[in-house]
Amino acid sequence: MTPEPLWSDEQAASFLGLHPKTVQRMARQGELPAFRIGRYWRFRGSELDAWLQSQARSLQPNASANRKELQ
Global confidence as pTM: 0.78
Mean pLDDT by 10 residues, the chain (71 residues): 94 97 97 96 97 88 57 53
Domains in the chain, please, with CATH?
6-70 (1.10.1660)
- Report the alpha-carbon distance of residue 67 to residue 7 in Å, rounded: 42
pLDDT of residue 32: 97
- 37 contact partners, CB below 8 Å, separation of at least 6: 6
3-state secondary structure 8-20: CHHHHHHHHCCCH
pLDDT of residue 57: 86
